[in-house]
């Protein structure tokens, strides 16, 4: 649940009035004093959002610049006031967004915010070089106030108004994953090359983290896209929706063909007794998955959710083809091996990263079981085409947990008993006992003594005859399944060789 946000104004009309004082008439010094007094009064009551704090600093510097003619000795103090206000504004915008494991350049973050690049350069010069000229600082102050008007005041006063689309589009993550895959293939095939390519692999890991930071900033969640929902610099919500959005875009690229799931169908369906991805895929992708989970604890949950959505809901375009960039509709929904491979990855993630119940929430395993149970419940039809994949996944995630396994067996037997029944020695014993009990009974042929023509043409073998027993047949015995009635047989109706 989103918590209430504390703001310094009593109602939005107060902020609207402040905005008119600041921006209505640049030459109205009296209005600027009203704005400074109002902001100072608010700051005495509560901490100001960074945008308002920057507005107060810039207005104070401009009022000192225009209210009186400064002497030669005060030119330096004016330049310092302007420079300090601009430096604090840029730093206050950029620093909260340095949330990734690796630092990003201030210029790249400012570009995503739509902040003019020359303000970043001026900030660097004022911090590390000679102070810029007074004229340049005055222009920077005007540009900064204009940016605050369009990116803070107007969206806050009128949240329904469209935000300015000055930020560049988010760069694709697919090329980074392709580079990572190429390097990992080299080092997994020849371990002697790992030391040579390890710096390149580390660099790609850092680039992935930077991409996730860029994606968090690109997530446009209405008025809080620039972090205006924070006053003290800390998130007011425990869960960051922007990080979740960024991880979802990253997971969409991972679950596409060519990433976690190989492009070659032969490599997806390697014979294995365990419900796990192929060893070659694990060797390629587990370093990246472990690295991402270290810095983003919610990554396993997001990944399993996106995998299940991909299997269940068949999005029109799941593809982030690693070798061919295409905008055509992906045919993954018609590829059972693709969904089976994704299900194996979901089971592996659960087995690797599930740590039980945390913070009062269900574990990854239980969340996935609840989703599968709701899909496989009797009467549901959404996942009928993929019921075998979903059933195999449910058996895999409940294996080793007696209560969960018992519940899943009951669910699967009610959902598709004929497809999911596995015969074992105990079942054969019961069937053979029933068969011998049936054979020991009188066949009832005396009922037809008066009218032999009405007797059935087939009957049970006489008691004591060699009736054989039920036995299991597999592909090695030459038996093949076929619809009932396809092949005609002269054997008795209760032939013990027919299962």
> What digits encode the pLDDT tens for the residues 377-398?
766 655 455 777 888 888 888 8
Res 68: pLDDT: 61
pLDDT digits (tens, 9 = 90+) for 8-29: 888 888 888 888 888 887 778 8
Res 334: pLDDT: 62
Answer for the pair 245, 219: CB distance below 8 angstroms, yes or no: yes
Rounded Cα distance, 430 and 471, in Å: 12
Tokens for 423?
């015969």
Answer for the pair 214, 171: CB distance below 8 angstroms, yes or no: yes
Rounded Cα distance, 261 and 259, in Å: 5
pLDDT digits (tens, 9 = 90+) for 465-483: 455 677 777 656 666 666 6
Answer for the pair 207, 176: CB distance below 8 angstroms, yes or no: yes
pTM of model > 0.75: no
Stronger pLDDT, 235 or 32, i.e. the higher one: 32
Tokens for 498?
């027919």
326-343 burial string, b = 16+ CB within 10 Å, else e?
eeeebebbeeebbbbbbb
Q: Does pLDDT of 166 surpass 80?
A: no
Q: Provide mean pLDDT across the span 346-350.
A: 90
Q: Which range, 37-41, 245-249, 328-332, has the best average confidence (pLDDT)?
A: 37-41
Instruction: Give phi and psi for 257, each to the nearest 5.
Output: -60, 135
Answer for the pair 89, 58: CB distance below 8 angstroms, yes or no: yes
Q: Provide mean pLDDT across the span 292-307.
A: 89
Answer for the pair 220, 163: CB distance below 8 angstroms, yes or no: yes
Listed in sequence order, the residues at least 6 apart from 225 whose beta carbon sits closer than 8 Å to its beta carbon are 163, 217, 219
257 forms bridges with which residues in the sheet? 261
Tell me how far apart the terminal alpha carbons of the chain are, to the nearest angstrom.
57
Dihedral sign, Cα of residue 415, residue 418, residue 422, residue 424: positive
Q: Does pLDDT of 225 surpass 60?
A: no
Stronger pLDDT, 74 or 320, i.e. the higher one: 74
Q: Provide mean pLDDT across the span 114-118.
A: 83
Closest residue by Cα to residue 51 from 218, 169, 223, 168? 223
Q: Does pLDDT of 412 surpass 70?
A: yes
Rounded Cα distance, 393 and 414, in Å: 17
Q: Provide mean pLDDT across the span 262-278.
A: 75
Rounded Cα distance, 8 and 11, in Å: 9
Q: Provide mean pLDDT across the span 324-344.
A: 63
Closest residue by Cα to residue 59 from 36, 38, 76? 36
Listed in sequence order, the residues at least 6 apart from 438 whose beta carbon sits closer than 8 Å to its beta carbon are 460, 494
Rounded Cα distance, 193 and 269, in Å: 29
Largest CA distance in the chain: 137
261 forms bridges with which residues in the sheet? 257
Res 320: pLDDT: 40
Rounded Cα distance, 116 and 150, in Å: 13
DSSP state, 323? Answer: S
């Amino acid at each position: 649940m989103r918590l209430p946000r504390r703001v310094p104004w009593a109602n939005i009309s107060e902020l609207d009035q402040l905005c008119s004082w600041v921006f209505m008439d640049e030459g109205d010094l009296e209005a600027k004093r009203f704005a400074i007094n109002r902001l100072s009064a608010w700051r005495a009551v509560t901490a100001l959002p960074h945008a308002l704090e920057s507005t107060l600093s810039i207005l104070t510097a401009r009022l000192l610049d225009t209210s009186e003619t400064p002497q030669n000795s005060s030119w330096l103090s004016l330049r310092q006031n302007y420079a300090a206000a601009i430096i604090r504004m840029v730093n206050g915008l950029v620093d909260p967004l340095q949330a990734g494991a690796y630092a990003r350049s201030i210029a790249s973050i400012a570009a995503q915010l739509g902040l003019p690049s020359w303000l970043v350069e001026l900030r660097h010069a004022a911090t590390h070089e000679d102070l810029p000229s007074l004229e340049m600082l005055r222009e920077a102050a005007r540009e900064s106030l204009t940016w605050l008007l369009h990116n803070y005041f107007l969206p806050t006063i009128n949240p329904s108004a469209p935000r300015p689309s000055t930020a560049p589009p988010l760069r694709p993550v697919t090329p980074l994953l392709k580079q990572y895959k190429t390097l990992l293939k080299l080092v997994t095939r020849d371990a002697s090359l790992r030391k040579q390519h390890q710096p390149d692999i580390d660099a790609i890991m850092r680039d992935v983290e930077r991409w996730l930071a860029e994606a968090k900033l690109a997530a446009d969640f209405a008025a809080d896209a620039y972090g205006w929902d924070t006053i003290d610099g800390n998130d007011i919500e425990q869960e960051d929706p922007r990080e979740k959005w960024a991880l979802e875009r990253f997971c969409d690229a991972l679950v596409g063909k060519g990433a976690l799931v190989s492009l070659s169908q032969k490599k997806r369906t390697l014979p294995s007794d365990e419900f796990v991805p192929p060893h070659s895929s694990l060797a390629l992708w587990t370093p990246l998955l472990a690295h991402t989970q270290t810095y983003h604890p919610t990554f396993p949950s997001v990944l399993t959710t996106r995998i299940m959505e991909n299997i269940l809901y068949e999005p029109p375009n799941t593809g982030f083809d690693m070798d061919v960039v295409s905008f055509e509709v992906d045919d993954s929904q018609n590829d059972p091996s693709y969904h089976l491979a994704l299900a194996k990855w979901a089971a592996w993630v659960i087995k690797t990263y599930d740590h039980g119940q945390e913070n009062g929430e269900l574990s990854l395993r239980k969340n996935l079981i609840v989703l599968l149970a709701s899909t496989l419940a009797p009467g549901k039809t959404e996942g009928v085409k993929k019921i075998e994949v979903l059933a195999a996944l449910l058996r895999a995630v409940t294996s080793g947990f007696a209560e969960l396994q018992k519940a899943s067996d009951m669910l699967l037997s009610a959902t598709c008993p004929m497809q999911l029944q596995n015969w074992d020695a105990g079942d054969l014993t019961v069937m053979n006992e029933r068969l011998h009990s049936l054979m020991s009974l009188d066949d009832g042929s005396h009922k037809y003594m008066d009218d032999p023509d009405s007797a059935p043409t087939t009957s049970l073998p006489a008691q004591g005859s060699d009736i054989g027993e039920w036995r299991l047949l597999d592909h090695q015995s030459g038996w093949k399944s076929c619809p009932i009635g396809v092949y005609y047989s002269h054997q008795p109706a209760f032939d013990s060789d027919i299962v």
